[in-house]
């Protein structure tokens, strides 16, 4: 069970990469977005809510497993955040790249209220 929790929390292991783990986690979100585009539009929000709660559980469990708050390898928030960012996006490379870059900029900069919540 610990391996499954860590696999989810680290975005299929992308969070363990030594450079820019959040960016790699966001890229996992983009890659997951492609097959998720095939689900019916009314189902996509349900999938996002499920992934959100699974991510909250996995991230909280990973903090306990790793014995530190907000560990860098935990990137499930980037994965799900990227899926939210691209929720209504068309499959156009420029739109996907813009969504990816804007999400990364906001995740790094953390404008209000994200900084307050974080």
Neighbours of 100 (CB within 10 A): 20
Q: Which pair of structure tokens corresponds to residue 41?
A: 């539009």
Nearest Cα neighbor of 84 from 113, 106, 57, 60 is 106
Q: 71's torsion region: left (phi>0), alpha (psi -120 to 50) or beta? A: beta
CB contact at 8 A, 78 and 11:
yes
Report the pLDDT value the prediction gives residue 112, as an integer from 0 to 100. Answer: 79
Query: Region 102-106: what's the mean pLDDT?
Result: 96
pLDDT given for residue 113 in this prediction: 75
- Average pLDDT (11-16) is 98
What pTM was computed for the model? Answer: 0.92
> How confident is the model at residue 87, as a pLDDT?
96
Helix (H) or strand (E) segment spanning residue 6: helix 2-9
Alpha helices in 37-73 (DSSP H): 44-66
Domain range list for the chain: 2-117
Give the residue among 33, 17, 36, 15 at the shortest CA–CA distance from 25: 15
């Amino acid at each position: 069970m610990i391996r499954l929790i860590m696999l989810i929390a680290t975005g299929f292991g992308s969070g363990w990469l030594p450079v820019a783990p959040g960016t790699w986690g966001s890229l996992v979100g983009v890659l997951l977005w492609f097959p998720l585009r095939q689900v019916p539009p009314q189902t996509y929000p349900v999938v996002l809510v499920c992934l959100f709660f699974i991510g909250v559980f996995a991230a909280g469990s990973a903090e306990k497993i790793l014995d530190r708050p907000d560990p860098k390898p935990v990137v499930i928030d980037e994965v799900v955040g990227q899926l939210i960012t691209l929720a209504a996006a068309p499959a156009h490379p420029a739109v996907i790249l813009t969504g990816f870059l804007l999400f990364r900029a906001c995740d790094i900069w953390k404008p209000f209220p994200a900084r307050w919540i974080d």
